[in-house]
Amino acid sequence: MLEKIKIEDILFIDIETVPAEASFENLNERMKHLWEVKTTQFNNNENFSPEELYFRAGIFAEFGKIICISAGFVVMKNGQKYFRLKSFADNNEATLLQDFATTITKFSQQKEILLCAHNGKEFDFPYISRRMLINGIKLPAALDNAGKKPWDIKHLDTLELWKFGDYKHYTSLNLLTAIFNIPTPKDDISGADVAKVFYEEQNLNRIVTYCQKDVVAIAQIMLRFKGETLIPEENIQIAE
């Protein structure tokens, strides 16, 4: 299947998420109660309080928010591959989501695109869609799967491709880059650090850089899957 897909038709994305509030105490009473209920599903009888588990809220679209979406695509020019990156990052989630929705809608009008992320089908794509609805933003066609047959959904997932049908298997993006000899995107912070960098350091730019490296890594992995040459570092272009 992959040999039939042109790399230029894929929009690679990655998102960074954090808990909706800096701390459990900042939640209103209704959301505090609902978080307490939620934690009973994964506390595993370890007796951690809802407050102690709040650092995990960012992985749930109902209790977290998106602070950055990075997207990139491959362009062929004079026989060379170039990768163009753009990030949507803002303290106001609605603003970045609307900007992202507008951009991929315009991109889709130019040609039919495939969205690709690592673990995107389980995390990135549904998370973005849920947060758009919560913020009152109309879903772009590329994310609106309602009523579509599975083969009509234009989503790719590097994790799913690597599983080869083995649904027990999980392989991190970092491990895939290691075994395919691709520079690691995890040379500064990790996903576990994002909330601290956002709320305590208030360093959104650092998170954007981290997110962009993940997008580049996903694109490079897809090129490895397709048996194609990687994109040279000097050919990676970041839009302001």
- Domain spanning 2-20+63-238 has what CATH number? 3.30.420.10
CA distance 133 to 21: 19
Q: Which residues pair with 22 in a beta bridge?
A: none
Looking at residue 79, its pLDDT comes to 87
If you average pLDDT over every residue of the chain, what do you get?
A: 92
CB-facing half-sphere around the CA of 239: CA atoms within 13 A: 12
41-95 pLDDT, tens digit per residue, is: 887 767 788 999 999 999 999 999 999 999 999 999 988 999 999 999 999 999 9
User: Domain spans of the chain?
Assistant: 2-20+63-238
One-letter amino acid identity for 25?
Answer: E
Element (H, E) at 19: strand 10-19
One-letter amino acid identity for 83?
Answer: F
pLDDT beyond 80 at 186: no
Looking at residue 107, its pLDDT comes to 84
Q: Contact 143/172 with Cβ under 8 angstroms?
A: no
Share above pLDDT 90 across residues of the chain, in percent, rounded to a whole number: 77
152: pLDDT confidence band, cut at 50, 70 and 90? confident
62 or 113: which leads in pLDDT: 62
Looking at residue 45, its pLDDT comes to 66
1: pLDDT confidence band, cut at 50, 70 and 90? confident
DSSP codes, 119-135 = TTTTTHHHHHHHHHHHT
